[in-house]
Chains A and B, each alone.
Chain A
């Protein structure tokens, strides 16, 4: 099935923090129903872009349409259609899973019944029934992340933003969440996924965008991107990534420091387009 209809249209989106340009006039589209991998080194502008698309940050210039709604003008309409699993887990430690879900559900104007029905369905799917009334402070990171995902799904969003959803989780939970992401996608939910895990990105993404220094450096299907890797047989997505973004280690603001790297790689100048 080819996905053609755009669900997100980003136009010259820019975010500056004082003199630092975190996102530099990027434009791209996300198709309805796809899993869109959004990759980039630390400080490349991934989270800033996601925060703008989810209305948590106001763009300095440019804009984006999410499900036909302007992120600058119709923020509440955008909010009604998206779910967010952010870098930090959105969960109150002193409340139980159900209390957390009820709170966020109410903020989204869901009825008590709806909240209960939807929560229990996903809680069961993610194996958290036994824990749903325990305080979140007693959960492991993996358990917290599972409830965090249930929270993001409460509103039955059209688009789900997942910002490093498997970071710091054990292989079992990671596997469970990856399978679950695919399951959700099959139900028609568009997924925007940022990750540093190239295997995850490769396994899940229909298309991948690589962002660096606030600009989209490459955007295509994984297969097409791999074809552009030079000097290597059977390249992986990691090879693509390193060729596109170079070998320099980034500090927080994207400044580069030279690191050693695989001998097959040339300079950072050969950008994949």
Chain B
């Protein structure tokens, strides 16, 4: 047993040296996380990021309608960028046709009796049309339009209440306060606002690390098996545990390196701040790896060929990416999906990383996740190692 550690290290060292010499693998290794970050970071929209969303407008009313449209047209959510690019249509059906043709991602219809209804104190109504083919954009767009219409209505209400208050001769009450007696103030735990990057960076980090251990380990074992070099290792008088842990170790080091690339990109290129302890981030990544090593070994042992291994893993990995909340919050999912998510170690790794990176959580706040990851890793490893021993000489 005294040799296990040194044997393990020989295998790790050899794997890393081999990897460092393989230019193509090295390049993809570095480029992959950059790709993931850039793509996911820029593609997914956030509230801050809508600009020039094309919408259709129909104004059958006149001046008051135009006033509302002006507010919409000039709305800027990020400074210097108009939120909407408006295009005038003749009717509400024309807006719907426009959405079908995907010329626009939504629209607003102001009916002819809009200003008359307001003046006779009847509740006026505008229609907001949504693009159901694009829930992400249309969700933000319709919400923004609703807010604009509400704000516009409140301004009119304020004027009317002002007139009424003046008539009663009462002093004091401010029309604005009467219209909106309660306001809410938004306060985060940290100063500033978060963006999708901050949400997605921990997810990508956990994911590349997981991929390295799962896919990387299985591919590395099956590649050696196909090339025949695995026989050279297996015929050495060393513990089988040292063999598989040595391979797992080299993959883990690669995974951590990739995780570090993601972290550095997130900080320096995408402006993500690590609010918690960087050591805790590293610990979580390590435990994330640990939780996957057992699974990785199981797949490596069972798949004889590299291709089978890759396919087997794809079946695991693909749903895991979406269920674990790497890209979408788990809370948005149906209950059954949430239940599945809570069986996956990745979910806990990502949740904990997010807490630490975005919210600056300390060890005590992620204790549950730390324990779950450790237990999951220990249990799968305890199952996987004896199985590997058996299956490798099947």
A residues less than 8 Å from B234 (CB atoms): 55-56
> Would you list which residues of chain A between 47 and 67 have a CB under 8 Å from chain B?
54-58
Cβ–Cβ contact B235 & A55, under 8 A: yes
> Quick one: given A58-B393, A87-B228, A88-B231, are A94 and B21 in contact (CB under 8 Å)?
yes
Give the interface residue-count category, chain A.
20 to 34
B residues less than 8 Å from A57 (CB atoms): 393-394
B residues less than 8 Å from A135 (CB atoms): 21
**Does A253 lie at the interface of the complex (its beta carbon under 8 Å from any beta carbon of B)?**
no
* Number of B residues, CB within 8 Å of A: 23
A153 to B17, CA, bound (A): 24
**Does A86 lie at the interface of the complex (its beta carbon under 8 Å from any beta carbon of B)?**
yes
Binary contact readout B57-78 vs A (1 if CB under 8 angstroms, 0 otherwise): 0000000000000000000000
**Does A238 lie at the interface of the complex (its beta carbon under 8 Å from any beta carbon of B)?**
no
Cβ–Cβ contact A90 & B232, under 8 A: yes
A residues less than 8 Å from B11 (CB atoms): 107
Cβ–Cβ contact A90 & B10, under 8 A: no
Cβ–Cβ contact A90 & B237, under 8 A: no
**Does A32 lie at the interface of the complex (its beta carbon under 8 Å from any beta carbon of B)?**
no
**Does A179 lie at the interface of the complex (its beta carbon under 8 Å from any beta carbon of B)?**
no
Cβ–Cβ contact A90 & B229, under 8 A: yes
Nearest chain B CB to A90's CB is how many angstroms away? Answer: 4
Name the one of B3, B22, B236, B237 contacting A94, with C-beta atoms under 8 angstroms. Answer: B22
**Does B227 lie at the interface of the complex (its beta carbon under 8 Å from any beta carbon of A)?**
yes
Nearest chain B CB to A114's CB is how many angstroms away? Answer: 15
Name the one of B21, B229, B235 contacting A54, with C-beta atoms under 8 angstroms. Answer: B235
Binary contact readout A164-208 vs B (1 if CB under 8 angstroms, 0 otherwise): 000000000000000000000000000000000000000000000
A208 to B235, CA, bound (A): 25
A residues less than 8 Å from B390 (CB atoms): 58
**Does B187 lie at the interface of the complex (its beta carbon under 8 Å from any beta carbon of A)?**
no
A91 to B390, CA, bound (A): 25
> Quick one: given A57-B393, A94-B18, A103-B10, are A109 and B237 in contact (CB under 8 Å)?
yes
**Does A84 lie at the interface of the complex (its beta carbon under 8 Å from any beta carbon of B)?**
yes
Please, which residue of chain A has its CB at the minimum distance from the CB of B229?
A90
> Would you list which residues of chain A between 99 and 123 have a CB under 8 Å from chain B?
99, 103-104, 106-109
Nearest chain B CB to A168's CB is how many angstroms away? Answer: 14
Binary contact readout B195-238 vs A (1 if CB under 8 angstroms, 0 otherwise): 00000000000000000000000000000000111011111111
**Does A151 lie at the interface of the complex (its beta carbon under 8 Å from any beta carbon of B)?**
yes
Cβ–Cβ contact B21 & A82, under 8 A: no
> Would you list which residues of chain B between 1 and 16 have a CB under 8 Å from chain A?
3, 7, 10-11, 14
A165 to B22, CA, bound (A): 28
A contact residues vs B (CB 8 Å cutoff): 54-58, 75-77, 79-80, 82, 84, 86-92, 94-95, 99, 103-104, 106-109, 135, 151
The 4 closest A-B pairs by CB, nearest first: A88-B228, A90-B232, A107-B236, A94-B21
